[in-house]
Amino acid sequence: MNLLLLSLFVFITSVAGVGIVRWLAVRYDWIAQPRKERLHNNKTTALHGGIGFYPAFLIGLIVTFVNYFPHNWLALWTEIGWIRQGIALGVGALLMFMCGWLDDLKEYRPTTKLLVQLIAASLFIMAGAVIPVTQIQILNMLITYFWFIGIINAVNMLDNMDGLSSGVVFLAVGTVVILSVFTSPTELLAIPIALSLMAALLGFWIYNRPPASIFMGDSGSLFIGYVLASLAIPNELNGYFGIVKTNTISILALIIPATILSIAIFDTTLVTITRKWRAERASQGGLDHVSHRLLSLGFKDKQVLWIFYSFALFAGFIAVVMQRYIDYALLLFSSFVIIMLLLGIYLNHKTVRRAKDEMDPPTWTQIISYFHYKWYVSIILLDLVLIVVCYYAAYFLRFDGVLSYQVSKSILNTLPLVIPTCLLAFFISGIYRVQWDFISVPDISRYVFGIAGGVILSLATLVIFNRFEMGQSRGAYLIFGLLLFLVIIATRLSFRFFDHMLSIPLKNIQNRQCQPILIYGAGKGGKILLEEIFSNPEFKTFGVIGFIDDNAQKRQLNLSGLPIKSLIDWKDSLKKEVIPEIWISSKLISIDKIREFEKKEKISISIRRMMLKLDILSLRAKERRAVPDSYPLFREKKGR
C-alpha cells in the first residue's frame, strides 16, 4: 500500500510539473522549431520536459531514502553496500539531469557530455556496483563503464519519436521491478526507486504520446538512461536478481540486463553501423532509426509505438524466463539475439539509403559497402552464430540439459573445426547465391546438400584430427544437423515472414484510407498480383481486402491471410460508400459475371485486368513471328 501511494503521489506530481513546464515553454518561447532532418517537421513543440518530471522522481527518491535508510546511515556508509549504491544512484541521476539541462540550453560537445557520464558512472562503480562477468576485476569495471556510456546514449538516441523513449524505458523499468520482486518481494531498494521512475515517466508520457505537446530533451533522457543502467545490472539494490551473489562469476549478469534494454541497444547499434558504413558520424541527427524505417514502410506513428512496446514486453518476458530457468538462459538469449539480427537485416534491406550526394566517402567505405550490398559479410557472420548456437543446443539436448566438464570442454575444442567446415560446405553448395526475398522449393535442395555436407565434413575432420575424444557424441551430430537445417531455413524464410507480418496487417489497417481492392482469381495469378501490389510503391494507395473466386472449393479459405469468397458473398462490401475495385488476375477470367452483378445491384464497379508486358527490342525475323505484340500491364475498364 505504501508503494502504491508513493507511485500515485509521484505520478500526480509529474503530471502537474510537466504541465507547468509546458505552459512556461509556450509563454517564454522554449520551443522546438520544425527541422527537415528531424521527425517533427510540421509543428512547433515545447521543450525541457525533463525539468517537469525529474522533480517528481526526486521526491519519490527522497521519500524512499527516508523510509528505507536507517537513522545512522552515515555511520553505516562504509559497511552496507545498498546504502552506498542508493546514494550514488541519486547523486549520479542529479548530475546527469544537470548536464542534460545545460546541454539543452547551450548544446555541449559530445566529449563534454561523455566526461560527465564517466563521472556519474564512477560514482556507482565506486559504490561497489560492478558487472561480475569475469574473474578480473579491472576488466569488469571497464565493461561496467562501457555499459553506462552505451545505455545512457542509447536511451538518448531512442528519443527520436513521440512517446517512444518514455514508453520503452517505462516497460524496461517495469521488467526490473518484476525481476526484483521475484528475488525479494519487500526488502529491495530497487523496487520503490523503479516504481518512482515509472510513475514519473507515465506522467510525462501523457503529454509526450503522439501528437506530442512537449519533448523531454537531454535533461530527461540522460538521467532516465543513467537510472535505468544502474537498476538493470545485478547489484545490491536489486538483490543481484537472484542469479549471482557477491564475487560470483556469471554470464547471466550481462545477458539479462542486455535483454531488458535490448530495444534501445538494437536501435543504437543499427544506426551506428549503418552510419559508419555511409561514412557519417553516429552522433549526428537523422531519419534512419528503426522508428523512421517503420514509418517509411507505411506505418503510422501510433502503430510504430505499439510495435516497439510489443517488442519491449517480449524482451521483458524473455528476461524473466531466463531468471526463472537459468539452465536455458543461454539458448533463450541466443534465439532472441538471432531474431533481432534478422529483423535488423530485414529493415536495413528494405529501407537502405545511400550516402548523401554531396559526400565523398573514403575508399574503405566503398569497399565495405560493396560487400554489404552483396550480403556475404553479414550472412556469413549470421551463419557463424547459428552454427555455434545449434552445436551447443545439440549437445544440450543430447545430454538432457546437463553438460559435464568434459562435454563442455569438448564443445569448445571442436567448435574451431566445425565452424569453418560447415561454412565451406555452405559456400560450395551455393547457399550464398540464393536471394532471401524469393526463396523457393528448388532452393531447398541446396540447403539440404550444404547442411548435410557440412555436418559430414565436420565429423570426418574431427575423426581425422581429433580422434573423436572423450565428451563427443555421434548422436549429437545428428541432432546438430537437424537443428541447423531447421534454423537455416527459418532464417532464409524470415524475409517473407516479416513481409507477411508487416505488409498484410499494414494494408488491412490502412484500407480505410486506401482504395479497397478485390482480386478476382485466387490462384497463382492472384498471388502474383497480390505480391505486386504489396511491393510496388506505385500501388501504395490501394489496399487488398480479399479474393473472388468461382471455385466453390476455394471459398471460405484464405490466401496470404485474406479471405476468398464468391462475388455474391462480397455484396455488402460492394455497396459501401467506397466501392472496391475488382482487379482480374488472369486473361482467362471473363468479366460477364461482374457486368451481370452490376445490372442486378444497380451499381458501377471499376475493373482492371492484370496483363503481362513484354517489350520487343530486337529479335531475329524467325523469333519475331513467335512472340506476340506487347500490351499494357493493366487495361482499365470503367463501369457504365
| Three-class SS of 560-601 | CCEEEECCCCCCCHHHCCCCCEEEECCCCCCCHHHHHHHHHH
Single out the residue of 241, 276, 272, 400 nearest to residue 328, CA to CA. 400
How far apart are the C-alpha atoms of 458 and 440, rounded to whole Å?
A: 27
Reported as a single tens digit per residue, the pLDDT across 57-81 is 999 999 998 887 766 655 555 557 7
State the pLDDT at residue 639: 44
State the pLDDT at residue 407: 87
543 and 477 both lie in a single domain: no
302 and 389 both lie in a single domain: no
185 and 235 both lie in a single domain: yes
45 and 193 both lie in a single domain: yes
Given 325, 340, 357, the domain boundary residue is 325
**CATH code at position 632:** 3.40.50.720
Given 496, 527, 542, the domain boundary residue is 496
Per-residue cell: 536: 510496388
Asked if residue 293 belongs to a domain, the reply is yes
Asked if residue 9 belongs to a domain, the reply is yes
CB neighbours of 188 closer than 8 A, spacing ≥ 6?
180, 237, 238, 239
State the pLDDT at residue 186: 65
Say whether 32 sits in a helix, a strand or coil. strand
- Type of residue numbered 258: A
Asked if residue 334 belongs to a domain, the reply is no
28 and 176 both lie in a single domain: yes
Alpha helices in 34-109 (DSSP H): 50-68, 81-106
454 and 407 both lie in a single domain: yes
Reported as a single tens digit per residue, the pLDDT across 426-448 is 999 888 888 777 777 888 888 99
Asked if residue 536 belongs to a domain, the reply is yes
Asked if residue 189 belongs to a domain, the reply is yes
172 and 280 both lie in a single domain: yes
Regions in the chain scoring below 70 on pLDDT: 33-43, 70-79, 185-186, 244-249, 277-286, 351-376, 468, 500-513, 577, 613-640
Range of the domain at 284: 2-325
Confidence (pTM): 0.78
State the pLDDT at residue 112: 87
473 and 556 both lie in a single domain: no
Alpha helices in 184-300 (DSSP H): 190-208, 217-232, 252-260, 262-277, 290-296
519 and 450 both lie in a single domain: no
Per-residue cell: 123: 560514482
Asked if residue 347 belongs to a domain, the reply is no
Beta strand 562-565 pairing with 558-559: antiparallel
- Type of residue numbered 42: N
Between the two ends of the chain, the Cα-to-Cα distance in Å is 70
State the pLDDT at residue 506: 52
- Type of residue numbered 342: L
435 and 311 both lie in a single domain: no
Asked if residue 369 belongs to a domain, the reply is no
State the pLDDT at residue 147: 95
305 and 384 both lie in a single domain: no
CA 82 from centroid of its chain's CA atoms = 34
Alpha helices in 261-357 (DSSP H): 262-277, 290-296, 301-324, 329-350
Asked if residue 502 belongs to a domain, the reply is no
Q: How many domains does the chain have?
A: 3
Cβ-count burial 335-345 (b if 16+ within 10 Å, e if not): ebbbbbbbbbb
Given 447, 465, 496, the domain boundary residue is 496
State the pLDDT at residue 115: 93
Q: What are phi and psi of 610, to 5 degrees?
A: -80, 130
- DSSP 8-state class, residue 288: -
Per-residue cell: 628: 506476340
114 and 164 both lie in a single domain: yes
Beta strand 31-32 pairing with 45-46: antiparallel
